[in-house]
A and B are shown apart, each in its own frame.
Chain A
């Protein structure tokens, strides 16, 4: 019997190793999976089975297979749920094979399934066997994973207009900036239609800048033009609106004629809650608002709402 935690650790390592073996045979029936390139190592399964006892109506191998099936179907179902558009882009069988390869390359390392696809875009980027579709698959994977991350990201404390030039500013945790190789947003809005992806894949790739964010509890994706994106990135990098604008002006990337659009950009970002107090710099409610100097900033007074409902 296990005499100490070391024995228990050995048992748990062998059991876990068996769970993580690729699925084969009957296990694949439910998911209609192809036999993967990798086969389970019979020695790993045998070592785990040796820890177990036969039960009245099932063998130790069948019991282990039940857990192996649960492990794989739970993880594959989670990936499928998080990446529905990618499944349309690649087709179900090819997507399942990719999900399985991803999970074999790195078993889950978080206690929540919501983090499961976080490294998936990096994985897709290194899959040359996807051929010509890889760029589009990567774009879609990045967008869908960004949506998952925005869904559960913290809210942050919104910046008021009168704080814009005095506060330490950050991009809200639920805002994700992406540059995709293809202009995918129009297709993504009809993601369930395979034809839109086929047409997009056949076109010459045109990059697109996207903002994925959450507002009032809903995940939204918008395009953003290069110039406002440069300002937004500069603000996020410098944690200061004044410093960012100063740098961009000095570098010749902002000119006097940009004052009008700049006001509109900040108005738009504040309305959507994209700018928040940098972590650790949140002002307390008892701190007085800055003076009128901030009111002369280009951004209008708006107070975006946090996610809810």
Chain B
């Protein structure tokens, strides 16, 4: 198992950077890969990944398990993800709290779900099965969404919290997605962050977004926006430092620029001493309560 420190920053492994990474071996805590880019057992992509794996820890982030699909998770796809996770020995696997395929047709998008108790049960059961099959922690990431369903009865943060509690899995908290969705749906992103079970947050995504007709779109093609850093700081204050990953998928900058942007995350972490004291206080309170 590859250890990933709580106080660590990674970036997404993208094809344009691979040659430079292997040549220069830059100081990066870890890389996150898109699972679906590496599911074929062979080829250039897998050869590159094997070379990267010799030098860096990796985590796997999926875009195709579709735990919210009404027809269930595709067992063949799950088996391929499991095989790759075993080969890379990643500490966890993540994917999105979404659906994206139906009747064998794939949207190649991350589509939102109706937020209802019945869908909580359906998705939680799927996530629990995925985690069991993988045999390692499974994290669900919140989406950026541009539609809401007429029949939703829960807020998005209630839905996310109830799913991960029922599935006993973790959260990959994407603070940019919280911000983007907040502006579309008109909710308070700080309330969203404050309402989450932070003990279940295992990883954080930060990213930039573009604007279309004044509203943000989750494009991963800009530096992280100031309001998103503010939400990140809030999450750090509430849950402590977590492995943090900068996503940048379009108009990808040079590697040095990407790493510099990712490193900004460190500015928002509480000092280690403060965090240790906070933990000590919690431990003391728990002991006192038990007594």
Contact = CB atoms under 8 A, between A and B. Distances in A.
B47 A12 contact: no
Contacts of A13: 102-103
A2 B114 contact: yes
A153 B153 CA distance: 46
A5 interface: yes
Contacts of A11: 70, 114, 149
A151 interface: yes
A2 B71 contact: no
Interface string A40-68: 00000000001111011110100110110
B69 A12 contact: yes
B186 A108 contact: no
A74 B109 contact: yes
A180 B180 CA distance: 49
Contact of B43 (A51, A60, A214): A214
Contacts of B27: none
A293 interface: no
Contacts of B64: 111-112
B151 interface: yes
Contact of B111 (A15, A53, A111, A153): A15
Given A5-B70, A8-B70, A154-B42, A16 B107 contact: yes
A2 B42 contact: no
B82 to A, nearest CB: 14
A98 to B, nearest CB: 19
A25 interface: no
Interface string B126-170: 000000000000000000001111111100000000000000000
B231 to A, nearest CB: 19
A155 B150 CA distance: 50
B214 A57 contact: yes
Contact count band on B: 35 or more
Given A71-B107, A109-B104, A307 B47 contact: yes
Nearest to A172: B42
Interface residues of A, number: 56
Interface string B34-48: 001101111111011
Given A57-B184, A63-B146, A16 B36 contact: no
Nearest to B47: A308
B42 A153 contact: yes
A199 interface: no
B183 to A, nearest CB: 8
A249 interface: no
Given A55-B186, A57-B215, A111-B36, A152 B43 contact: yes
A74 B148 contact: no
B157 to A, nearest CB: 17
A225 interface: no
Interface stretch (B116-124, B171-179, B239-247, B266-274): B116-124
A11 B101 CA distance: 12
Interface of B: 19, 22, 36-37, 39-45, 47-48, 51, 64, 68-71, 74, 77, 99, 101-109, 111, 113-114, 116-119, 122, 146-153, 183-186, 212-215, 217
9 contacts: A2-B119, A5-B122, A6-B70, A16-B102, A19-B109, A112-B37, A153-B42, A217-B47, A306-B47
Interface of A: 1-9, 11-13, 15-16, 19-20, 50-53, 55-58, 60, 63-64, 66-67, 70-71, 74-75, 78, 107-114, 151-156, 173-174, 214, 217, 306-309
